[in-house]
Amino acid sequence: MYEDFNIFLLKLPEDCKEITTESCVQFHLPRKHHVCPICGSQHTYVHSYRSQNLCGLPTDTVYIYRKRRYRCQKCGKAFSEENPFIDHFQRIPNSEINNIIKEHGELVPASLIARRHGISANTVMRHFACGVNGVEEKDAPTEKTLSTVISIDEFRGNAGAKFQVVVNDLQHRKCCDIIDDRSVATLYDHVRNYPLADRENVAMVSIDLSPLFRRLVEDFLPNAEIVADKFHAVRLANDALDSIRKEVQMGLDKHNRKWFKNARRVLLRREHKLSSGERVKLSHMFAFSEKLNLAHALKEEYYRIFDSCDWKMFKERLHSFKEHVLASNIAPFIKVLKTTEQWEKEIWNGIHTGYNNGFTEGCNTKIKTLKRVCYGFRNFENFRRRIMYILNNEERKARCTKISKK
């Protein structure tokens, strides 16, 4: 961690500060003995001074560093003095480069970070790429690793393929990887690159109701149990009920159609959570259609399946739901029943383990926000690097946790 540049300046002796005004600060470093970096000779002397304008500081003040140039008496080579605040061939202090990298943890575009520091967006992205890649190379293990419990989900990208895939560690609530394409070939090639021992170590995978992801887990993660995300399963019943609501709504006059549409949230909410006023509104809706009343009852029964305490209760409630759906002959709920039976084991795994895609959906929301504020990304590696940094940024997580507690 580098010392803040302004604090460094304050610690300089007064005789090192040549000019100190609101618009300009010119300084040099205390003189010290330098050894020739070429031949190692101790015999060196000050050859000249070179003025270097510093940039990247979020201020209108101009900072000029008067840098000494030394020459070796033995080999004749010239070299610059050592300093603790800026690297060779750089004009931005190291502490400001650190700040630029940290600011990428916010949901802001690189152009805004560039304007804060008075540099170009390309310079900002270059320093961010160098800084993040350096940390990854230092901290990364020799091989890719997977956690014991992971989730896999897709999101709509705009850098390369239409859809990308995010792989998260649900145990440590971190993003493991971003895959550049949802296609079968890309997914299979990517997962195949993980060591077999590592893939065998995965015990649980949470996914939405995607046949592609289920095949991927079955083919490459042999010891993993599949967990169907509860939200996606419950949404099946909500969508089925909403389709019946739209069907009834189409047969009403303009005034009642508008009222029906505005009241749709009452239909989708659990019945035991409704207020007395909402219950009255619900009974008025049922007066328009007996089919809607029956569909709502099926939705409530479907929700109760997810309240099951054990496998036996789950099977009994699912069987009861099946009988009522077949008796009602409501097409959208017959489709819900078929999908539920196809994912029966995976849905139960989600109920009794408690794992779901909630964390992953939250990550997807951050990705969508990042895409929006940055007006999209053209380069997938830049997109991936930024996503990984935001989702795994411990300072941002701590800040968000502190805000949520308030």
How far is Cα 346 from Cα 204, in angstroms, rounded to an integer? 11
Using DSSP, state whether 48 is helix, strand or coil: strand
Summarize pLDDT for 363-385 with one digit per residue, the tens. Answer: 999 999 999 999 989 899 999 99
Helix ranges (H only) for 65-163 are 94-103, 110-117, 121-139
Mean pLDDT of the chain: 90
φ, ψ for residue 176, nearest 5 deg: -85, -40
- What is the 8-class DSSP label of residue 33? -
401 pLDDT more than 80: no
Residues in contact with 192: Cβ distance below 8 Å, sequence separation at least 6, in sequence order: 220
How far is Cα 397 from Cα 127, in angstroms, rounded to an integer? 23
- 355: tokens are 């794992």
* Residue 136: pLDDT band with limits 50, 70, 90: low
- 205: tokens are 């995978």
How far is Cα 296 from Cα 309, in angstroms, rounded to an integer? 23
* Residue 184: pLDDT band with limits 50, 70, 90: very high
- Considering the four listed CATH numbers 3.40.50.920, 3.30.420.10, 3.40.50.300, 3.40.50.150, the one that applies to the domain covering 149-229+356-405 is 3.30.420.10
The pTM is what?
0.83
Q: How many residues does the chain have?
A: 406
Summarize pLDDT for 6-31 with one digit per residue, the tens. Answer: 899 999 999 999 999 989 999 999 99
What does the pLDDT read at residue 346? Answer: 96
**For the chain, domain boundaries:** 5-99, 149-229+356-405, 230-353
Whose tokens are 């065998």? That residue is: 200
One-letter identity of residue 252? L
